[in-house]
Structure 1
Amino acid sequence: MVDLTPNPSFSLTIRLTVPNRAGMLASVTQAIAQVGGNLGQIILIEQTRKISTRDITIDATSTEHAEQIVQAVKALADTKIINVYDRTFNLHRGGKISIASKQPLDSPVELAMAYTPGVGRICHAIAEDPEQVYSLTIKSNTVAIVTDGSAVLGLGNLGPAAALPVMEGKAMLFKEFAGIDAFPVCIATQDTDSIIETVKNISPVFGGVNLEDISAPRCFEIEARLRRELDIPVFHDDQHGTAIVSLAALTNALKLVNKSIEDVRIVINGAGAAGVAIGRLLRKAGAKTILMCDSRGVLSKNRNDLTEQKREFAVEAAGSLAGAISGADVFLGVSIPGVVTPEMIRSMAKKPIVMAMANPTPEIQPELVEDYVAVMATGRSDYPNQINNVLAFPGIFRGALDCRAQEITANMYLEAASAIASLVKASDLDREHIIPSVFDERVVTAVAAAVQRAARQDGVAQR
């Protein structure tokens, strides 16, 4: 395994003092470089005739690597470290989101309207006409981000409290990218019925529900039942967000290699929530040949350990992941690090497309196969072609809320993927640019518009 690229996830700032003489800063930066640290901003805090005090920001590859960098600086003669702080931990201290009032509250007059007695008139109005809850409260622009903490990122079953930082981050993305007020709801149970009942009981507050980090196969039942029993859109981002962005990226990658989705052989490694959803959406987009693998190899009809969802993709063939990849046109990984080798990639068809989306370490490091693949994508921001769900879910919910969609349909997924793919012009399309940036301001608008059109076509829009 090649070394990972230093990245902001493991970013630290060192405040240090050195004698104010030529070459001292250079000795510090050289020591950092020698242990593989990636230098960022350097700020001069104070300088006298005798000393200089600076903040030096460095990206590392891991917590252990960050400590190695600190020790390398400490070992320098005449260098004194004043403070070291982890920038990621500092960003999270005190939480990342807050609730803010939309109206001023500076006088008894405003208080009487915002709260009692004036608010009573609003309560009566909603009781008489429940539809007014959408125009007189936050409901029309509010999403619940619901988790039980059973499948947090790629970290496993950490529980609801440990899942909260992820849900806060999700709420930030909803607000910053789509102007949606989303709030974390981390439920202290992993019982399917209890989760469903809890979400139903809090649903009067919210215009939509985003399910997050709930383990398979329970996530499939929870989403299906909530969709049947609620009249607001329910969306499991780990499934459908990943599938939408994967389809968008694959659409453009296939253009580059002059292949059609109907003709290519696709291997999906990982048969959990994301893998199953990707497979389902690719089929709806026209894919004919999909081999799905889990930790035991190809999902074969001969196996007796398959869940209901896995049986959807069971085939007559059997064998290992290596056997499945041989001759394949496309590899899509939503599994674990390092399960694919360069030899396996070299066994693929000509102009292979590899989307290794395990995070933070992909199924295969791009550096190992960059000379063998036509297109390479990962889930990481420090490589080209990041498959990031933030390209999908803000626009999905923006569109669904704005048209008061009762549900989110497969047609809405397809149209969202098409909208994302269309933002990369033919003249800009290349092996390192098959998907727009998450910071492209056109994305949310384009996805929201596509979702609304599809909702009206499917008859689920209420306005």
Structure 2
Amino acid sequence: MANSRPPAGLTGLALLNNSQYNKSTAFTEDERERFKLRGLLPAAVSSQRLQTELIMENLRRKAYDIERYILLMALQQRNERLFYRVLLEYIEEIMPLVYTPTVGQACREFAHIFRQPRGFYITPTDRGDIFDILDNWPERDVRMIVVTDGERILGLGDLGANGMGIPIGKLALYTAFAGIPPAQCLPVMLDVGTDNQMLREDPLYLGTRQPRLRGADYLALVDEFVAAVQLRYPRALIQFEDFLTPNAYTLLNRYRNKALCFNDDIQGTAAVALAGVFAACRTTGKAFETLKILFLGAGSAATGIGDLVQFALVAAGLTPDQARKRLWFADVDGLLVAGREGLAPHNRPYAHDASPAGVIEAIERIKPQVLIGATGSPGAFGERIIRTMASINERPVIFALSNPTERAECSAEQAYRWSEGRALFASGSPFAPVLMNGKTLKPGQGNNAYIFPGIGLGALACQATRISDEMFLKAAEVLADSVADDDLRQGSLYPPLSQLREVSLKIAAAVAEVAYRQGLAKAADRDIRIETIRAMMYDPVY
């Protein structure tokens, strides 16, 4: 719960400048006397509800989403409880501003809209000193860390230190939807340089102006960071975010059995996509274990989904070989097949014995019920692709997961129009409802925010020592079960965003149960129920 009482000695302007305890004009007459605020505020005493409405009035006055983003970040810097109340009460309107799609533009322009430092930066010159400099961070009880090196920000590529907007945004969602107190959250940028020449030549760029650190030196820096976190913050969970595919897999495999960590692009994306597939089966009437799935894109997100789907198919009774044969991948060069040169290790298990084929031919040959896009390539699902899927499926399942919105493989309107309104569509970023054949279809947003807050909350609640694949499978099942029949009738494969906090609670309780069952939990109290976890959560109301 939020601690509304400032610590002893925090008074006057210091209190008004402290984002954790500041209430601004909502300080009562008695509080103004006790905390030496008389004369420092206008006479009127506001309610937090009135402050919330004022923020929304000012927000809606702005002409551009990036301006709204700047306003919200400024609010977070001066009054974090008001920021989180605004986010929770107006989630449908605010979430696209603090995260995708607006966070993509915010990262591209990060140095140009920079106002005040937020988060922690580690550079190659900090080798040997990371444990010591972490002591500069003012909070001692850090529980949740989101870290990136900025090399693959959404579908936008190498943004270097500008990628700090991603950890900041993800942790805002952790607090809003999982109730992790802001003081326990630490955004981290591993600023190891950038290969984006335009950034290095930008006089306003705030990051290290050198080509990216690679190889053994890069791994040594990350090794030191993970070790320093484990010593400095022994109860912290590390979430890896937006690393380039080879590094994403290397780091996940390097630390997953040594530290409390996961990779959201690989595992979080996988769980939210799998949940959408589970939900789609309720509409199509197809048994999950009978599905054939074609992925367009073969990076960390796509193969991460494939790995978890394979895990789920095995849990449903298939052998690993049978499960893999139901999953096919294609990239810009066509179908991934055995014998193709240059396949990455994470792709090889899905390169089947088959002749090469383009995407259209692959769909006609494989006849998949589900098409999942994680390409970062806008328009990758052209009209022929959608129409071909619709020609072989009464209800084709189309996932255009690339972020931000401008990078989506197709829009909701295109998927519906090209399938005569029959597609079951989900995307990574939000799309507006579409009127089709006299019916309003509400496309679901396959946002990782449905998964990672609950995973993190559950792991922290039971003091998990590791994050397992079973936890992500259980999270996907819980999320799919949270989709109401009315949601499905409206075309959505996910529950409304307004239910995110309750969904996170359900996932957290299920994750804790899995952790205890697998012997991965240290908390003595095994009775981790939803209400027990709810009592732990940060409440932004004052």
TM-score by length of 1: 0.70
SS at structure 1 position matched to 2:495: coil
1:264 aligns with 2:324: no
How far did residue 437 of structure 1 move?
2.3
Letter in 2 for 1:157: D
1:413 aligns with 2:440: no
How far did residue 369 of structure 1 move?
2.9
In 2: Cα distance, 1:86 partner to 1:156 partner: 23
2:268 aligns with one of 224, 233, 241 = 241
2:426 and 2:492 in contact (8 A); partners too:
no
In 2: Cα distance, 1:158 partner to 1:219 partner: 16
1:342 aligns with one of 359, 383, 386 = 383
The count of residues paired between Structure 1 and Structure 2 equals: 349
2:357 aligns with one of 285, 296, 319 = 319
Which is worse superposed, 427-436 or 339-348?
Answer: 427-436
2:374 and 2:400 in contact (8 A); partners too:
yes
Query: Can you give the 5+ residue segments of structure 2 that lack an aligned partner in the other structure?
Result: 1-53, 82-138, 193-212, 314-322, 433-442, 524-542
In 1: Cα distance, 2:251 partner to 2:69 partner: 33
SS at structure 2 position matched to 1:144: strand
When residues 56 and 402 of structure 1 are mapped into structure 2, their CA distance, relative to the original with a 3 A threshold, is: closer
SS at structure 2 position matched to 1:456: helix
SS at structure 2 position matched to 1:429: helix
1:154 aligns with 2:155: yes
The alignment's C-alpha RMSD in Å is 2.6
SS at structure 2 position matched to 1:302: coil
How far did residue 284 of structure 1 move?
1.2
Q: After the TM superposition, which residues 265-344 of structure 1 pair with which residues of structure 2 at under 5 Å, given as runs?
A: 265-286=292-313, 287=323, 288-317=325-354, 318-326=356-364, 327-335=367-375, 336-344=377-385
How far did residue 197 of structure 1 move?
2.1
2:412 and 2:431 in contact (8 A); partners too:
no
In 2: Cα distance, 1:284 partner to 1:226 partner: 20
When residues 305 and 44 of structure 1 are mapped into structure 2, their CA distance, relative to the original with a 3 A threshold, is: closer
How far did residue 97 of structure 1 move?
8.5
Structure number with bigger Rg: 1
2:257 and 2:466 in contact (8 A); partners too:
no
1:209 aligns with 2:212: no
Query: Can you give the 5+ residue segments of structure 1 that lack an aligned partner in the other structure?
Result: 1-40, 46-54, 61-84, 101-136
How far did residue 461 of structure 1 move?
1.3
Residue in structure 2 matched with residue 374 of structure 1 by the alignment:
423
1:183 aligns with 2:186: yes
2:424 and 2:492 in contact (8 A); partners too:
no
Residue in structure 2 matched with residue 225 of structure 1 by the alignment:
254
Letter in 2 for 1:375: L
1:460 aligns with 2:520: yes
**Structure with greater strand share of residues:** 1
Residue in structure 2 matched with residue 129 of structure 1 by the alignment:
none
**Structure with greater helix share of residues:** 2
Residue in structure 2 matched with residue 165 of structure 1 by the alignment:
165
Letter in 2 for 1:210: Q
Letter in 2 for 1:332: I
SS at structure 2 position matched to 1:241: helix
Percent identity among equivalent residues?
31
How far did residue 453 of structure 1 move?
1.2
Letter in 1 for 2:396: P
Residue in structure 1 matched with residue 504 of structure 2 by the alignment:
444
1:216-236 deviations in whole A, cap 9, x for unaligned?
Answer: 111111111122333xx2011
1:132-171 deviations in whole A, cap 9, x for unaligned?
Answer: xxxxx954x6111111111111111111x20111211111
1:342-400 deviations in whole A, cap 9, x for unaligned?
Answer: 22122122121001111223112222231414301111223420000111111101001
1:374 and 1:431 in contact (8 A); partners too:
no
1:318-342 deviations in whole A, cap 9, x for unaligned?
Answer: 2122222332211001112111212
When residues 98 and 239 of structure 1 are mapped into structure 2, their CA distance, relative to the original with a 3 A threshold, is: farther
How far did residue 58 of structure 1 move?
5.0
